[in-house]
Structure 1
Amino acid sequence: MTQLFFSDYHPQEQPAAAPQPLVIFGAGGLGREVLVLLMQLNEAGASWDVRGFYDDQPPAAPTVAGLPYLGTAHDLNQTTEPLAVAVAVGSGASRAAVVARLTSGQLSFPALVHPGVRLARYQRVALGAGCIIQQGCVLTCDIALGRFVLLNLGCTIGHDAVLEDFCSLMPHANVGGAAQLGTGVYLGTNATVIQAVRVGAGTTVGAGAVVVRELPAGITAVGVPARATSGIQL
């Protein structure tokens, strides 16, 4: 799990006189929310020059939130200049598939953290490339987020938690201290994983579910306490 330690993370490192070009991959609702995040970062002193949207499924209109639709992943790979990309795709598996298609060496994937989210060096939080952390999230200390982890609005992450690559947490999901989420885990809105519990790779935890003991990989679990919907008895 490739990580960027927070001491190396500088969301406002570009001077105002030298804006950094960036595009959003994903022209749906999450893409528009990420655009809002970028505008909020710019209001706080960052200098992202958001050029527009890419998506392998063209939107109905030629513009999205006032910005142009620019093409598909193939088109994005043809860029001749360095270009930052925010991958705004909610499903971890779909997000991983998009990242796998974006092969140009000109592309980079910055971590984007809402300016209201506290992340100081003394918290010892590690972020992977491409992470997106939205408004209202709270991360305590000694936390590791892998590559392209999505924390939607108002999520909480406790001490010593590990979220591997491509995890997706929907609004107000909660991860307790020392919990571990495998690659591509999806937590629905208001889902909770209590302290020191592991959730296996690719598992989906339904909205409002509470995970109180280990879940295996590749299942869907719902309810309080969370149980597999079919196939595996927990």
Structure 2
Amino acid sequence: MTQLFFSDHSIMEAAPPLVIFGAGGLGREVLLLLQQLNEAQPTWTIGGFYDDQPPSSPTVAGLPYLGTSADLNATTEPLAVVVAVGSPSGRAGVVRRLTAPQLSFPVLVHPGVALAAHQRVELGEGCIIQQGCILTCDIVLGSFVFLNLGCTVGHDATLGEFCSLMPHANVGGAAQLGTGVYLGTNATVIQGVCIGENALLGAGAVAVRDLPANVTAVGVPARVIKYNK
């Protein structure tokens, strides 16, 4: 996994054209994020949407549907891709399918989110950070982490690749989330708690102690109700 400090993403040279993989509701929200970024600093030329499940109409939010992952892999020119898939496993599956060397996966951070070099926040490729998120300092986000609206991440927290935080999820200081963890809306991981890979913490749940990998946990305090395949 390649990781760069946020300051390395702050200045871009001639960004390539960009497309969104995922033609559903999250794809339209990502389009809104891109439009907000362009309003703050014109950067991206947005070509349209790709999805392996074609939408019901030839356009999505006024932009064309362009094809499947196979079509995207056939591109011969440099192209930036944003993977707008909320499920960690679904997002990982898309990334595995997108193998063309011309494709790159930029970091997108809402212009209202404070991220300066002195915060020492490390971001992997393909991360998406939506409006209203708060990240403090000395934080590591692996590749393709998705923070939905209004999430908070405290000092020294580590989020593994493909983690998904739904709106207003909270990660306390020094907490550790393994690869592919999913936090539902308003879920909270208390300071110092470790969540195993591919675990799912339900909406509103509060993890006050470590959770193993591949489980679903709900409630306050969170308790395991299911072991996932």
Partner of 1:62: 58
Is 1:4 aligned with 2:37? Answer: no
- Cα drift, residue 46 of structure 1: 3.3
Report if aligned partners of 1:13, 1:46 keep a CA contact under 8 Å in 2: no
Unaligned runs of 5+ residues in structure 1 are: none
Q: Distance in 2 between matches of 1:71 and 1:8?
A: 32
- Cα drift, residue 4 of structure 1: 1.2
Counterpart pick for 1:75 among 71, 79, 89: 71
SS in 2 for 1:20: coil
Q: Distance in 2 between matches of 1:200 and 1:175?
A: 14
Report if aligned partners of 1:158, 1:177 keep a CA contact under 8 Å in 2: yes
Q: What is the TM-score with the length of structure 2 in the denominator?
A: 0.97
Q: Distance in 2 between matches of 1:230 and 1:76?
A: 37
Change (3 A) 1:150 1:22: same
- Following TM superposition, where does structure 1 have runs of at least 4 consecutive aligned residues deviating by more than 3 angstroms? none
SS in 1 for 2:31: helix
Q: Distance in 2 between matches of 1:183 and 1:155?
A: 18
Q: Distance in 1 between matches of 2:207 and 2:167?
A: 17
SS in 2 for 1:153: coil
Q: What is the TM-score with the length of structure 1 in the denominator?
A: 0.95
Partner of 2:114: 118
- Pairwise mapping of residues 1-234 of structure 1 onto structure 2 (< 5 A)? 1-10=1-10, 13-14=12-13, 20-230=16-226
Q: Distance in 1 between matches of 2:168 and 2:204?
A: 10
Q: Distance in 1 between matches of 2:53 and 2:222?
A: 34
Unaligned runs of 5+ residues in structure 2 are: none
Q: Distance in 1 between matches of 2:145 and 2:58?
A: 29
Q: Distance in 1 between matches of 2:227 and 2:164?
A: 23
Amino acid at match of 1:171: P
Q: Distance in 1 between matches of 2:43 and 2:165?
A: 27
Q: Which moved more, 1:117-126 or 1:44-53?
A: 44-53
Q: Distance in 2 between matches of 1:230 and 1:8?
A: 41
Q: Taking every aligned residue pair, what percent have the same amino acid on both sides?
A: 74
Amino acid at match of 1:13: M
SS in 1 for 2:17: strand
SS in 1 for 2:149: coil
- Cα drift, residue 134 of structure 1: 0.2
Report if aligned partners of 2:16, 2:78 keep a CA contact under 8 Å in 1: no
